[in-house]
């Protein structure tokens, strides 16, 4: 015998079952109906005829507003995070044709780029005046290897500013950058794009999403890019793919298996040297490297498995396991003047080609389990997050050395493909092997309590136990280091309406000596550096929520920075202190249905407040690569006329940046203008992007001994197809 239960009674029973401890405004889980049973309705009941959908609604342009995010370790809206957060959306990256993470981050204020240093390659970022080279993440897990990150598999990029060790462990003094991968959806979707441009730019991408069953979906993103450069004989080749399979997306039990692969083969560019404290004034195309000898080869392989169990709408547990393997090999040329400034500088002045030649492999295994739940204790509502994380890291690094020296060149007529002595290439050997093994166990918890209507208090803490072992070639011996550190996060949130948020926030962070896979005799005996961030901010949703606006005033301070003590060669003193004060303003979203905007601005004052005697020249100076201002504005307007036309334009500005701690060398301020024009039909589109429209000469990658020019005027044409 079958019993037919009316839908209204089912909803009433469900409401009663979940009312205890639930929020009054929470929604119920979807009720799954047995359609076969539903057709057994009595004959006298009316049965609605089936409705067949024959056409898909043409989608509007996606917004520049960020989607929900897990950057705070729980799935929430950006306005509910009491900290400065920028989300660079997929639509913004598409409109600006940002093919690399570096290009996507041009939209972020308070962020600048460093040039390759000491053999370092890949994304090298400064955030609020502090290095973020170890603060890069992929889907919430650390991704700190040295490689040039792509955007072909990214849904959005999230930049959380200020100390965040309570959420993510070591690092994050100025903030962190999280890349969010594209995931399968329960809808068939096929997209392909091909782009051609100046300087031999050629790129192809595909995005295929296929529903295999009602619970199983597959997505594949792939990319191939080859390009020259506005710099003579500099080139880049890369390709990658990212298949992802999701079972039970959005249901009580969700499993996702993902793999990411990226391979690069580039001719690296270390730019131009400084002369009289400023970049050497030569045409931006002039390259001082050796294109027939220099190379950069990177390989990235990341496999991820995640499982989410949702007990109900209010409680879930999520586990992620990741294996990541990275390899890199580099031979690059850093241009330098021999000794002091040439006495008689002219086009025949000699430039030394300093060799930067290193390689390494890195392997990480990460496991993380987190619980998120909502409940009440009396009149207080709680949102609890608690987790455990384990990370195993192993790295090997070496130098590529040779008894041969690089040939010199001259300023006016550099030979970027010089004749190489016989045996020069074969003379290179891997030497100075160093190996590193690290293990980190972390436990953390955070509770957000609604104490009064519209008033929430956030409190969180984390404990990290990190053990690092470092082996060096003889006669140097092994080193090891153990650190046990507590981190804290707090915030007071006032939300008088659903469209406005005001907050006060505090967070701490720490930087252990071994965080970048290295130790020496001094740092092995040195406790971690400590930092903190204090911030007050506001977030508003305007135009019925279509436009997000936020602002914040902050102080980020490192109050026991490592310094060298000449009287104690066996230990680095934690006596340094510096801070960055600033204010940020940002908007993202729609002003009208057809008019979108993304803008950001940061004004910063940074200062070294305390330094040891050996670093006295840095005292009361501005830290390296910390401009007083950065800003970015990008806007598009869409109109329909025999199809859909979209016109976009933007401007980016960065203030003067010092390249040395004594503030005697630096890179000038710059302004860059970009533009785009796109024509779209139902399934096809043609888009033209122009970069540095006014052909300004500027420098963006800063380091002590050299600086890398930004692109001269260039254009790219993209033809796309969507089904």
pLDDT tens sequence across 638-657: 998 887 999 999 999 999 99
Q: Mean per-residue pLDDT for 108-130? A: 89
Reply yes or no on whether the pLDDT at 310 is more than 60: yes
pLDDT of residue 339: 67
pLDDT of the residue at 519: 82
Q: What are the strands of the beta sheet with 699-702, ordered from one edge?
A: 130-131, 125-127, 111-114, 699-702, 706-709, 272-275, 278-279
The pLDDT mean for the chain works out to 89
pLDDT at 518: 83
Domains of the chain: 179-722 (2.40.170.20)
Predicted pLDDT of residue 522: 82
Task: List, for residues 420-471, the tens digit of each pLDDT value.
Answer: 888 888 888 888 889 999 999 999 999 999 999 999 999 999 999 999 999 9
Model pLDDT, residue 337: 87
CB atoms within 10 A of CB 246: 21
pLDDT at residue 573, as a whole number: 62
Q: Which of 25-39, 204-218, 497-511, 706-720 has the lowest mean pLDDT?
A: 25-39
> In whole angstroms, what is the distance from residue 698 CA to residue 284 CA?
9
- What confidence score (pLDDT) does residue 9 get? 31
Between CA 631 and CA 653 the distance in angstroms is 5
| 17-26, 235-244, 497-506, 668-677: least confident range | 17-26
Evaluated on CA atoms 603, 609, 611, 617, the torsion sign reads: positive
pLDDT above 70: residue 5: no
Amino acid 570: pLDDT: 60
pLDDT for the residue 30: 41
| pTM check: above 0.75 | yes
Question: What would the pLDDT profile of 460-498 be if each residue is shown by its tens digit?
Answer: 999 999 999 999 988 888 999 999 999 999 999 999 999
Residue positions counted in the chain? 723
The predicted pLDDT at position 340 comes to 63
Helix (H) or strand (E) holding 338: none
Question: Each residue of 320-374: pLDDT tens digit?
Answer: 999 999 999 999 999 998 766 666 788 889 999 999 999 999 999 999 999 999 9
pLDDT bracket for residue 160 (50, 70, 90):
very high
User: CB within 8 A of 193, min separation 6: which ones?
Assistant: 203, 204, 205, 206, 718, 719, 720, 721
As a whole-number percent, the residues of the chain with pLDDT over 90 amount to: 76
What residue has token string 């009289």? 276
What is the Rg, in whole angstroms, of the alpha carbon atoms belonging to the chain?
27
pLDDT of 45 over the 70 cut = no
Question: How far, CA to CA in Å, does 711 sit from each of 102, 157, 413, 688?
Answer: 13, 23, 21, 17
- Residue 571 pLDDT class (50, 70, 90 cuts): low
């Amino acid at each position: 015998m079958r019993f037919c239960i009316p839908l209204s009674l089912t909803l009433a029973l469900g409401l009663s079952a979940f009312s205890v401890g639930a929020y009054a405004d929470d929604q119920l889980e979807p009720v799954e109906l047995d359609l076969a049973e539903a057709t057994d309705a009595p004959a006298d009941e009316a049965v609605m005829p089936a409705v067949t959908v024959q056409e898909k609604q043409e989608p509007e342009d996606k917004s520049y507003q960020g989607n929900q995010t897990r950057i705070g370790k729980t799935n929430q809206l950006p306005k509910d995070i009491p900290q400065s957060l920028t989300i660079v959306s997929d639509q913004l990256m598409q409109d600006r044709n940002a093919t690399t993470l570096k290009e996507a981050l041009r939209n972020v204020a308070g962020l600048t780029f460093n040039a390759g240093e000491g053999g370092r390659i890949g994304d090298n970022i400064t955030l609020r005046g502090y290095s973020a080279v170890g603060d890069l993440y992929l889907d919430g897990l650390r991704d700190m290897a040295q490689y040039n990150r792509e955007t072909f598999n990214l849904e959005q990029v999230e930049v959380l500013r200020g100390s965040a060790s309570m959420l993510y462990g070591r690092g994050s003094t100025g903030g962190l950058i999280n890349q969010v991968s594209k995931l399968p959806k329960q809808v068939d979707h096929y997209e392909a794009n091909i782009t051609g441009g100046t300087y031999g730019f050629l790129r192809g991408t595909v995005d295929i999403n296929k529903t295999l069953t009602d619970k199983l979906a597959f997505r594949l993103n792939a990319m191939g890019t080859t390009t020259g450069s506005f710099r003579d004989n500099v080139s880049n080749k890369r390709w990658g793919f990212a298949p992802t399979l999701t079972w039970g997306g959005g249901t009580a039990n969700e499993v996702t298996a993902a793999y990411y692969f990226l391979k690069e083969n580039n001719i690296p560019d270390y730019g131009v040297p400084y002369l009289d404290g400023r970049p050497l004034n030569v045409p931006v195309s002039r390259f001082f490297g050796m294109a027939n000898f220099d190379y950069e080869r990177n390989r990235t392989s990341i496999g991820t498995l995640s499982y989410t169990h949702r007990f109900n709408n209010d409680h879930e547990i999520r586990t992620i396991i990741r294996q990541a393997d990275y390899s890199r090999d580099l031979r690059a040329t850093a241009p330098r003047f021999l000794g002091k400034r040439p006495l008689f500088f002219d086009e025949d002045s000699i430039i030394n080609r300093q060799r930067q030649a290193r390689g390494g492999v890195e392997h990480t295994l990460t496991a993380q389990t987190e619980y998120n739940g909502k409940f009440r204790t009396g009149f207080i509502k709680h949102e609890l997050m608690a987790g455990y994380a384990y990370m195993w890291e192993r790295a090997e690094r070496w130098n590529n050395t040779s008894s041969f020296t690089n040939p010199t060149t001259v300023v006016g007529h550099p030979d970027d493909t010089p004749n190489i002595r016989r045996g020069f290439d074969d003379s290179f050997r891997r030497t100075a092997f160093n190996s590193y093994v690290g293990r980190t166990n972390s436990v953390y918890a955070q509770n957000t309590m609604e104490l009064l209507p519209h008033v929430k208090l956030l409190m969180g803490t984390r404990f990290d136990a990190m053990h690092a072992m470092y082996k060096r070639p003889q006669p140097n011996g092994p080193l090891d280091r153990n650190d046990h550190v507590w981190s804290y996060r707090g915030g007071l949130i006032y939300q008088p309406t659903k469209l406005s948020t005001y907050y006060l926030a505090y967070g701490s962070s720490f930087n252990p000596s071994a965080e970048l896979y290295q130790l020496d005799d001094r740092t092995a005996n040195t406790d971690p550096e400590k930092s903190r961030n204090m911030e007050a901010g506001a977030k508003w949703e305007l135009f019925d929520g279509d436009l997000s606006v936020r602002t914040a005033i902050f102080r980020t301070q490192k109050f026991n920075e490592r310094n060298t003590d000449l009287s104690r060669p066996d230990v680095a003193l934690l006596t340094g202190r510096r801070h960055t004060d600033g204010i940020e303003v940002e908007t993202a979203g729609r002003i009208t249905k057809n008019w979108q905007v993304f803008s950001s601005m940061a004004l910063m004052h940074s200062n070294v407040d305390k330094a040891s005697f050996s670093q006295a020249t840095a005292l009361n100076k501005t830290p390296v690569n910390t401009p007083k201002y950065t800003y970015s504005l990008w806007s598009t307007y869409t109109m329909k006329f025999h199809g859909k036309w979209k016109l976009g334009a933007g401007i980016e500005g960065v203030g003067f940046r010092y390249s040395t701690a004594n503030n005697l060398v630096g890179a000038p301020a710059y302004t860059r203008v970009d533009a785009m024009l796109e024509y779209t039909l139902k399934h096809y589109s043609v888009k033209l992007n122009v970069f540095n429209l006014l052909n300004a000469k500027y420098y963006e990658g800063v380091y002590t001994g050299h600086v890398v020019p930004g692109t001269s005027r260039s254009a790219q044409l993209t033809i796309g197809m969507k089904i």
